Structure 1
Amino acid sequence: MDLSQPVEENYANPKTCFFHVLFKASALAFYFLSTLFVNSFVIIFVITVVLAALGFWVVKNVSGCILVRLRWWNEINEQGESIWRFQCLDQESLARINQKDSWLFWWTLYLNAVAWGIFGIFSVVRLEVDYLFVAVCFSLAIANIIGFTKCRKDARNKIQGFSSRTIASRFSSTLQSAFSLA
């Protein structure tokens, strides 16, 4: 065994990864399989939308916090304006995010939206009524993508701002100490 070879990184949170994928895949699988075997629009609609909503909630409130250390929510203030709120850990915690966990999180997020988009196109082409709940599932997937993308950008901006302030304060303290010694 060659110890100089880097050890391949494993998933840091395999259970969270499993449930992240499970909740996303369950809505897609149920929708796809039920359209083949079940003729009841109401049953397919209710179960698919409930599974998609559970997947949305799990990603937004559980797997996003654990796998990529990001969390977002949207509030409406008294004036009726939408305000995005973002939460992320400090720079050290963000630097320690497991790359496989992060990769799985982001790819599952995007592939889920692509799959619902494809199902939506097929529903419209077939002129089926199920495009209505496919649109609901697609909008939930897009909402998570938008929320987490904005959250990631906000986290990067905070880190860059913190780094800039730290460097500037160290530079100014170095200059002050250099001129005070002279």
Structure 2
Amino acid sequence: MKQVLADETEDVSLDFGAEEEERARRGAKIRHPLATFFHLFFRVSAIITYLFCDWFTRSFVTCFVIVIVLLSCDFWSVKNVTGRLLVGLRWWNQIDEDGRSHWMFEAKKGSSSSGTEEEACIFWLGLIICPLIWTTFFFTTLFTLRIKWLALVVAGISLQVANLYGYIRCKTVGQDTQSKCATQLLGQQFLQRPDIIFGML
């Protein structure tokens, strides 16, 4: 009986089902379910804890710490993970050698690297609605004279608005980059084939 051995230099790849998985991933409405879940989980949990914490404990410090931890987890996850995965945007702060702070805004090129339209919708709705809710809490805290909660509400507004501002700047940077690329492409086409432009005149 003769045995045929594969040549050692030949790269044999047995990747069964990869095409089906890729097709299913492209067709899925939610490509990143874990990131989508945590994009909403921490911020909604912070709001619910703020509203109903008095039902479970009378300790202001306990409520304050729990809400601040949830808001901090939300800020970190949205800034570092969900923005990059769901909409292909990220922002960060960089300090140069002179000690000056520079805010960096980045938009990923191409739609294939970012999430789906449904994920983008969830991302932006969560990013916009939650700061509005914390702003409502600010006014209700002022009018009901619950002044001890004011610092917590201001912290909530600050963290939520910082992410919102960062991602709006990322979005505008991405749009500016796309328009510059389109202008450069048109300029290159004009320089390479001016006869097309003059032929249309």
Alignment correspondent of 2:126: 108
* Contact 1:64 1:71 survives alignment (8 Å): yes
> What number of residue pairs does the alignment pair up?
171
Cα separation, 1, equivalents of 2:120 and 2:162:
18
Cα separation, 1, equivalents of 2:52 and 2:169:
34
Q: TM-score by structure 1 length?
A: 0.85
Q: TM-score by structure 2 length?
A: 0.77
Letter in 1 for 2:142: V
Cα separation, 2, equivalents of 1:156 and 1:82:
24
Deviation at 1:130, TM superposition (A): 0.7
* Contact 2:32 2:115 survives alignment (8 Å): no
141, 159, 164: which one aligns with 1:123:
141
166, 174, 180: which one aligns with 2:193:
174
Alignment correspondent of 1:39: 58
Equivalent residue runs for 1:72-151 within 5 Å: 72-77=91-96, 81-93=100-112, 97-128=115-146, 129-151=148-170
Q: Could you tell which deviates more after superposition, 48-57 or 31-40?
A: 31-40
- Unpaired runs of at least 5, structure 2: 1-26
Letter in 2 for 1:70: L
Q: Please say which structure displays the higher CA radius of gyration.
A: 2
- Unpaired runs of at least 5, structure 1: 1-7
Deviations 1:117-166 (A, max 9, x none): 11121111122111111110111000001000001000110111011101
| Cα 1:84/1:126, change in 2 over 3 Å | same
Find the residue that maps to 1:53 and give its secondary structure. Answer: helix
| Cα 1:110/1:177, change in 2 over 3 Å | closer
Letter in 2 for 1:25: V
Aligned sequence identity (%): 31
* Contact 1:75 1:84 survives alignment (8 Å): yes
Find the residue that maps to 1:91 and give its secondary structure. Answer: coil
Deviations 1:93-127 (A, max 9, x none): 47x64111111000001111011111121111122
Deviation at 1:22, TM superposition (A): 0.7
56, 59, 74: which one aligns with 1:55:
74
* Contact 1:31 1:44 survives alignment (8 Å): yes
Alignment correspondent of 1:4: none
Letter in 2 for 1:127: L
Cα separation, 2, equivalents of 1:58 and 1:106:
15
* Contact 1:9 1:100 survives alignment (8 Å): no
| Cα 1:76/1:140, change in 2 over 3 Å | same
Letter in 2 for 1:119: F
* CA RMSD, Structure 1 to Structure 2 (Å): 2.4
